[in-house]
Amino acid sequence: MKTRSNSQTSLDESKAVQYLLITTAVLFLGIMLVVPLITIFVEAFRKGAEAYFTSFNDEYVLQAIKLTFITAAIAVPLNLVFGVCASWAIAKYSFFGKSFLITLIDLPFAVSPVISGFVYILLFGAQGWFGSWLIENDVQIIFAVPGIVLATIFVTFPFVARELIPLMQEQGNDEEQAALLLGANGFQTFWKVTLPNIKWGLLYGVILCNARAMGEFGAVSVVSGHIQGVTNTMPLQVEILYNEYNFVAAFAVSTLLAILALLTLVLKYILEWKVARELKKLKNEE
Amino acid sequence: MKIEVKNLTKYFGKFVALDNINLEIIEGELLALLGPSGSGKTTLLRMIAGLETVDDTDKGEILFNNIDVSKKDIGDRDIGFVFQHYALFKHMTVFENIAFGLRVKPKKERLSNEQINKKVTKLLELIQLDGFANRFPWQLSGGQRQRVALARALAVQPKVLLLDEPFGALDAKVRADLRRWLKELQEELGITTVLVTHDQEEALEVADRIVVISKGKIEQIGTPEEVFHNPANEFVINFLGNVNLFHGREEDGRLDIDSSLENEDNNSKFLIRPHELEIVSVNNKDAILQAKIRYIQLAGSQVKIELTHLENETRTVLVEISHYEFREKNIQKGDIVGIRPRALRTFENGAGI
């Protein structure tokens, strides 16, 4: 960490206070974040590398990994499209109820994921609003893959929009208007002008969205029904393995999620830097 | 291309942005839309471009060569538009910015890469930026960026060029150079051009005709000489430079200043520009006013002199005379002098110069 300057001004705290604050922060992060992270890997390899790798040689585990990827593969693209549409609408137009829409996008952040899951049960469950219709038509949403996907979409939908709205608001729509006046059609304008301007912010949002989609536990847990090999995602499988006292396997699957988290952090760091650079360029232009 | 604006009224909610505008833009001329901010001049320009539409609640039409374009797509209007803040594509090089309009054309009309290369190179020469093809917008100065924006607009060979405060974001020296260059370029290309500005000096210098706009209405249309020397009303004379306000009566071409008329009707109001006043000796019989010299500003092409009325020190008069005349008359700060108008004209509504 870089301190402001070497020269002390009256506004700076004394050296002792500085060290105390820094030490507290580092210790806290170490105990709360780094130690658990190390524990995951230590526990996973407790019985050696062979035991670690055989953990994955299990039908249920492989099914859970597969389902997690399928869920993310559906939820992330949908939220990408929704996120771009919503931020486009919010940043480039003014319309009635705009601030309400911005608030609404944040709803999943404010609501407990478990509640989000319950909402879907109330809607689509056997006793729910659409329950009887769904049973008659032989459509199963709750305790099946569609429910898991829906819950995941709900929980992750702010990520892309939240990232893009400030970026697009900052950029305005002069460039788009210039492109249209030069004869470009809507698609060309989006593809050649808008997208290049938001690409880093978009990627950043997608990565955060993906991390959350793969790691979501609460909402998915409620709608999943915990059917091994059918409706269990990785986080749910970890819970089951752990409850079965199969610690090595539980931690082995956890390492996958931990690696995903670390990768996300690295990418997030790189992209944050890219986005900051784009915004700086924009500032220089004015 | 000839452009006609007929009975155009534009609302933004309940706000009347343009109020029954009638205007004809002649083929090949450079027309300046001049007015203070919020006057509606930019709205008018954006409506001609199609960036603002004539909605159902609005009235009037916009004709390009006698064809109504009010409902036409902006891409089909053959318009080159230059934005105040350039709006260059910041992830593209200067070359790609200029080539953009050529590259997005439908396949049938699109030029070959070779032809595009040639055309862009030519445009780069025109804007005196050859050698800058591979730079990015953020590596250019403001003046250079605005020239790139102009080249980008010209690349698609528009029939009209619309400029929205094109020099507004530049510093004074660059602005003066660039507008002279623009004027020459416009005359050379002969392209119909509409320029929006709030800077009267800029409008007076480059325009063939000026449209003075205030509060969504046209106050006057005329050549720079006409609007400057024969302003149609009080707004125009005030907006086109400094002006002195006197209250008095005119008798036999002579003005009698009378401060007691201050709150009376318009017929007692006279507006005289600083350069139309002369400083004479205090007992000169033609002097309309006795005043004391408070401040002299020597820097500039003219000497600016601020005086206060002798009877009422809170009222000031601004006079501009040449340096030659200033030395000749040996004027000093604190002198008590007479002020005489060089000419006196009145106009119909009573305000006179």
User: Model confidence over A167-209: pLDDT tens digits?
Assistant: 898 888 899 999 999 999 889 999 999 999 998 889 989 999 9
The confidence score (pLDDT) of residue A3 equals 47
- The average pLDDT across A87-94 equals 85
Please list every residue in chain A whose beta carbon sits closer than 8 Å to the beta carbon of residue B145: 285
The confidence score (pLDDT) of residue A1 equals 44
Which residues is B249 bridged to in the sheet? B256
Closest alpha carbon within chain B to A191: B104
- Of the given ranges (A67-76, B157-166, B171-180), which has the lowest mean pLDDT? B171-180
The confidence score (pLDDT) of residue A275 equals 77
- Of the given ranges (A258-262, B255-259, B303-307), which has the lowest mean pLDDT? B255-259
Q: Does ipTM exceed 0.85?
A: no
Across the interface, do B83 and A178 touch by the CB < 8 Å criterion?
Answer: yes
Which sign, positive or negative, has the C-alpha torsion B178, B179, B184, B185? positive
- The average pLDDT across A227-255 equals 90
CA distance A264 to A17: 34
Could you tell me where the DSSP H helices lie in chain A?
Answer: 15-29, 35-44, 48-54, 59-92, 98-105, 107-110, 113-124, 131-136, 145-156, 158-171, 174-181, 186-189, 195-215, 218-224, 234-243, 247-285
Across the interface, do B75 and A185 touch by the CB < 8 Å criterion?
Answer: yes
Residue B210 has pLDDT above 90, yes or no: yes
Which site among B72, B78, B81, B89 would you substitute to test the A interface, given the most A Cβ atoms closer than 10 Å to its Cβ?
Answer: B89
Residue that wins the pLDDT comparison between B294 and B249: B294
Q: What is the pLDDT confidence band of residue B256, given thresholds at 50, 70 and 90?
A: confident
Please list every residue in chain A whose beta carbon sits closer than 8 Å to the beta carbon of residue B50: 181
- The average pLDDT across B68-73 equals 80
Query: Which structure tokens are listed for A154?
Result: 């709900």
The confidence score (pLDDT) of residue B97 equals 96
- Give residue for tokens 């950043």: A204
Q: What is the pLDDT confidence band of residue A9, given thresholds at 50, 70 and 90?
A: low
The confidence score (pLDDT) of residue B350 equals 45
CA distance B329 to B321: 11
Find the helix or strand (DSSP H, E) in which B255 lies.
strand B254-257
Query: Which structure tokens are listed for B129?
Result: 């930026």
Q: How far is A187 from chain B (nearest CA, A)?
A: 10
Closest alpha carbon within chain A to B162: A181
Q: Which amino acid is at A154?
A: F
Q: How far is B287 from chain A (nearest CA, A)?
A: 52
Burial A226-258 (b: 16+ CB within 10 A, else e): eebeebbbbbbbbbbbeeeeeebbbbbbbbbbb
Residue A7 has pLDDT above 70, yes or no: no
- The average pLDDT across B67-88 equals 86
Residue A109 has pLDDT above 50, yes or no: yes
**pLDDT tens figures, A115-158:** 988 888 888 888 888 888 888 888 888 888 899 999 999 999 89
Query: Which structure tokens are listed for A280?
Result: 């700086």
The confidence score (pLDDT) of residue A285 equals 55
Cβ-based interface (< 8 Å): residues of B facing A: 49-51, 74-75, 79-81, 83, 85-91, 100-101, 104-105, 137-138, 145, 152-153, 156, 169
The confidence score (pLDDT) of residue A175 equals 93
**pLDDT tens figures, B323-352:** 999 999 888 898 999 988 887 655 444 444
Across the interface, do A182 and B137 touch by the CB < 8 Å criterion?
Answer: no
Per-chain mean pLDDT for chain B? 87
The confidence score (pLDDT) of residue B267 equals 59
Single pTM value for the model: 0.77
- The average pLDDT across B97-102 equals 95
Q: How far is A167 from chain B (nearest CA, A)?
A: 14
- The average pLDDT across A53-82 equals 92
Q: What is the pLDDT confidence band of residue B87, given thresholds at 50, 70 and 90?
A: very high
Across the interface, do A183 and B80 touch by the CB < 8 Å criterion?
Answer: no
The confidence score (pLDDT) of residue A286 equals 52
The confidence score (pLDDT) of residue B265 equals 57
CA distance A196 to A200: 8
CB contact at 8 A, B165 and B196 = yes
The confidence score (pLDDT) of residue A2 equals 46
